[in-house]
Structure 1
Amino acid sequence: MSCRSRCAYARRPKLIVMSEKPQASGESTLTVVLALLVNLAIAIMKAVAGVLTGSAAILSEAAHSVADTFTEALLLTALRRSDRPADRRHPFGYGKERYFWSLLAAVSIFASGAMFAFYEGFRTVFGEPEEQTRPLVGYIVLGLAFVLESVSWTQAFRQVRSESAAHGRGFWDFLRVSDDPTVKTVFLEDSAALVGLLLAFAGLGLHQLTGSSLWDGLASLAIGVLLASVAYVLARTNRGLLIGRQADPVMVKAIWRRLGEVPEVDAVVDILTMLIGTDRVLLCARLDFDDALTAHQLEDACVRISAELRAEFPDLDEIFLEPVPRTDPELRRRVLERYGDLG
């Protein structure tokens, strides 16, 4: 159509539809700050207990908590920097910074926590047997750490549960597709921390019962495997978000149906979406408009459609509407390569 380039971008109207983004961001900050304070206190307790008891598992858990503390600091940086508004150099904003710093947090868990746990485990298993001292101190510290860690875990669990309910998804399904890596990171690392404490407790107890430090070393190795697994899951999640993941498929299908109901649109040819931050989606819709529309009518329709989409889908941050003929063979080929035959 002759006005294709003029109507490719629907400018944002003055009306701004408010969403719950500031509230969600504030809850994420609370979750991260609470986890940071808890992990810092736990790290100090574990380090002291590890030195007093000589337990490799407790020392590994101390390194685990130190790694978690660094992780929370990186997540706070992610929350602060990703909320900056768009500017000339970054016209789509800084939302993806949250994914970058969260990726560094995953690296921190592996480098600071898992590697030290592996080192302590191998040193204990293959080195000279070590005598256990003051195991009662270890039991007390691990018990206190479990209580404190449960407080942080409960806050993360509540946030995931409330957000999953708001999105109409199951708990684990929401955790899998969530575009907020901060709360996912805190929940997974707190869950790993609780499991790690149980492993350390088992290693300490079996060492005391059998007199063999082998169990302590094996517990340390198990903690290393646990941390490496969590780091891998988080790194894979943030890699996908940094590359440019599609928006929630449920939302994409709803947008497709909504555009198909617009009277000026004869057919929805293609829809492209990309997450450009937490609760921020870029949308490009290729539409076959009614050929009887004038250039002015087409422009008005684009602006109206954009406003209606924002009102119905508050996560839409930027909307591009491109008029195209549905019979274009090159466009059809690209759609088929991307999605297959949709029937």
Structure 2
Amino acid sequence: MSLNIGIIGFGYWGPHLARNFNLNKECAVARIADLDQKRRKEASENYPRCLVSSDSRDITEANDIDIVAIATPVFSHFDLAMSALDNGKHVWIEKPIASSSEEAMRIVEKAESKNLIVIIDHTFLFTSAVIKMKEIIDEGLLGKLHYYDSVRANLGLFQHDVNVIWDLTTHDLAVIGYLLGKEPQTVGAVGSSHFNSFIDIGYVTLHYENDFIAHFHANWLSPLKIRKSMISGDRNMLVWDENEREEKIKIYNKGVNIVSHGAPNTGFADYRVGEVHSPLIMNTEALKTEVEYFVSCLSSGVNPHNNAIAGYNVMKILEATDKSLKLNGSPVELK
């Protein structure tokens, strides 16, 4: 299989996409488009064999392009994706998929009608740590899951178009959707803003069936950079610390058993404290793994797990957090 790639947007993420697509033996970056002259000059210097243009249509309508990779501001995702799909291209979209769930669903429907694949670039799903966590959960090593608790905090960077939940929690929503393979029943969110109209500290709570709960803390006003998540099960508990260089995942043989005396609420807690295990995790570049996965899906016809529907599901939850914020944290049902 030989795939020609067209990249729209050569700002921060576009060069990373170009490098990783070119590293894949099945791919070749053939065209690059960007509105900025300086970025076009950089693209031409780094990829002299590419056709570099200021017009995205030179990619979305080009006969020699198989995959259109979109790395532009969110407001442009929908129009670019629809144009690419209308012209028979598979599409790679930097997260989030679009500006609204309505636009996201239209991308889903267009891709299905054209029998094309759309992948949403939730790169965190392809880190070695998240892949290992998925294996651990699917193998049942944690047992019945109780909760997911995440903190994603740092000082800045303040955004001018989205709040802290949309900026930071998007990663975690994609991760939990991948790990669990199901969607929440209700979404609640609270937060506060201190410098502009967008909240800079936010807390999101998702309720699932069988009493599973997920909680996310997103913060632009933290003196420390924190990237830590906990997943608790009735057999073992897992801690994922992205800031750890070596032992990113630790599995704790800890838990609690309720010894009942027969009558309701009369038992006592028997706490279990055992060993701690850190599984071996290979240090591979997530974006490289994601490109390989996309190519394999195109070759085999398998629908990727980070497809347009997954992007739509994340968008639905983000929109529900906005509704809940306006309701002072009251839960919003997902439909």
Q: Same fold (TM over 0.5)?
A: no
Identify, as 1 or 2, the structure richer in helix. Answer: 1
TM-score, with normalisation over the residues of structure 1? 0.20
TM-score, with normalisation over the residues of structure 2? 0.21
Q: Which structure is higher in RCO with an 8 Å CA cutoff and minimum separation 6?
A: 1
Based on CA coordinates, which of the two structures has the bigger radius of gyration? 1
Identify, as 1 or 2, the structure richer in strand. Answer: 2
